[in-house]
Homo-oligomer: A and B are copies of this chain.
Amino acid sequence: MSRQSRTTQPVGLWLIGARGSISTCVAYGLSGIVEGRIGPVGLVTETEPLASLPLVPLENLVLGGHDVCTRSLTNSAAELVRSQVLPPDLVEMSAARAAAFDANIAPGLLDGPDVGFADLDPRSAELGSASPREQIERIQADLRGFVVEHGLEHLVVVNLASTEAWYEDRDEWDDLADFEAALDAERSQPASIIYAYSALDAGFSYVNFTPSRGSSSAALRALAEERGTPHAGSDGKTGETLLKTVLAPMFRARALKVRAWQGYNMLGNRDGEILHDPSHRISKLRNKDEALRSILEDPDMHSHVSIDFVPSLSDWKTAWDFVHFEGFLGAEMSLQFTWQGSDSALAAPLVLDLARLCTLSAARGEVGALAHLACFFKAPLTGGSHAFQTQFDALLDYAGSS
């Protein structure tokens, strides 16, 4: 293993949904770690063997992003202080860095069905009604301007926006030429696809941390290959699904028959509110059930996943899973678990990990969907398995063979 030297150039981390909870945690957490106020708990790239990879140092990351609302970052931070995710002193002491980030946030692209919420940036609504080609042009102008302004060696664009409404499959997404033709024909597209196209087409890494479409279609995968850019996704695996993909392989390995797996999720933040809407929820729930079915491969298994909006919980995702299983002699047994975690504090360090690992891939010329990052996602673009430990072993192998 030859140790490559770490870059000393700044690298950009562009957050779509820049004023949301996860982005706010990324910003204040990064600031806190760089200034030595908090430890790097939750960051796998700060543990061995990944820490020995020639990753971009955390202090070299420069934050920017898009958002469709006008709420200030300070407001988002105050909300996370109230719900006891962000420590109040950290917010105070990171004010300068937060302001710098805030200055790098441009009006984002509003997805078609999402209209009429309170603090919508009118420029986002306006961009939402532009033609797809113009949307791409203006987004790329923001990205390139950010790179030039900060002298960035590379840029990683991460989609952290709230889950989009569900779109049915379209033929134009199966082939890059068809997709380009659809853009030319001014057929409007989901915002997540426009963003992914903008990033990949401009040669920037792209990560889809949401269940929205993003770069998952054949057309955009082809674009990434053509432009020689790496990408990864979809849907960050942070809580209940992480546990499912850790526990289900155990039942399989012990030849225990899972008869029913019921998963009940409760969430009170803006994500929870948006998932309250059935058209958005359908995107989310698909990924949560698929992992289980893929690992257990038992068509008789009964399963159920729901997400309920419980405002008082704010960012504190609480999930209860009940697994009814059969053992030897037909004995009926059960496992139940309750998971209580801050959704945003679980997601934010993964975003930093992904930004560093994508930057390394870009530097190494790794192109297309990155299989070794499957452990970060509920619906990996590629990687072969939903089983968490198998996915994580692939990441360790990648680190070990570097």
Residue ranges of A at the interface with B (Cβ–Cβ < 8 Å): 25, 28-29, 32, 38, 40-44, 46-47, 84-88, 90, 242-243, 246-247, 249-250, 253-257, 259-260, 262, 264, 266, 302, 304, 306, 308, 310-313, 318, 320, 322, 324, 326-342, 345-346, 348-349, 375, 387-390, 392-393
A335 cross-chain contacts in B, Cβ below 8 A: 243, 337-340
Across the interface, A324 reaches (CB within 8 A) one of B312, B328, B388, namely B312
Please tell me if the beta carbons of A250 and B256 are within 8 angstroms of each other in the complex. no
23 inter-chain pairs at a CB distance below 8 angstroms, sorted by A residue, are A38-B329, A40-B255, A41-B327, A43-B328, A86-B329, A87-B329, A88-B88, A243-B250, A246-B247, A250-B388, A260-B312, A264-B320, A302-B310, A302-B312, A327-B341, A327-B345, A327-B349, A329-B342, A329-B348, A334-B341, A335-B339, A387-B389, A393-B393
A337 cross-chain contacts in B, Cβ below 8 A: 335-338
Please tell me if the beta carbons of A330 and B389 are within 8 angstroms of each other in the complex. no
Please tell me if the beta carbons of B388 and A260 are within 8 angstroms of each other in the complex. no
Identify which of A41, A334, A338 gathers the most chain B CB atoms within 10 Å of its CB.
A41
| Cα of A310 to Cα of B46 in the assembled complex, Å | 28
Please tell me if the beta carbons of B257 and A330 are within 8 angstroms of each other in the complex. no
A86 cross-chain contacts in B, Cβ below 8 A: 329
- With both beta carbons as reference points, the residue of chain B lying nearest to A321 in the complex is identified as B337
Please tell me if the beta carbons of A329 and B25 are within 8 angstroms of each other in the complex. yes
| Cα of A260 to Cα of B316 in the assembled complex, Å | 13
- With both beta carbons as reference points, the residue of chain B lying nearest to A257 in the complex is identified as B41
A87 cross-chain contacts in B, Cβ below 8 A: 329-330
A44 cross-chain contacts in B, Cβ below 8 A: 253-255
Identify which of A90, A310, A349, A388 gathers the most chain B CB atoms within 10 Å of its CB.
A310
Please tell me if the beta carbons of A255 and B328 are within 8 angstroms of each other in the complex. no
